[in-house]
Amino acid sequence: DAMVIQNPRYQVTQFGKPVTLSCSQTLNHNVMYWYQQKSSQAPKLLFHYYDKDFNNEADTPDNFQSRRPNTSFCFLDIRSPGLGDAAMYLCATSRGLAQDTQYFGPGTRLTVL
């Protein structure tokens, strides 16, 4: 059974049109992460939530926002997508920080036209 679910799997949006990506988990993990992965590059951490505490990476653009309304769900909002935001967006969860394994969802591939 899928433990980290991402919807949609493929998202096409227009330049400048806001888009929201969704992640849900059945693991009851405290931590949820959002990563951006471009072709042939490493996943890049955008931000994470430890429970309700939001932690933004210093170099994450303001264009990217996140919401975590409850333990199970976390959303990534891209306010004004640019062509450079086309990428795979990966959601991951872990029980705690540092030592705990991260479990990744299948990702959402975002195309910006």
Residue 45 touches another protein, criterion: CB under 8 A: yes
Q: Which of 10, 69, 83, 101 binds another protein (CB under 8 A)?
A: 101
Residue with tokens 């959601």: 91
Task: Round to whole Å and give the CA distance between 84 and 71.
Answer: 30
Residue with tokens 């693991």: 27
Residue 81 touches another protein, criterion: CB under 8 A: no
CB-wise, 28 or 101, nearer to another protein? 101
Residue of 19, 8, 12, 18 lying closest to 110 (CA atoms): 12
Residues near another protein (CB under 8 A) are 31, 33, 35, 40-45, 48, 50, 55, 57, 90, 97-99, 101-107
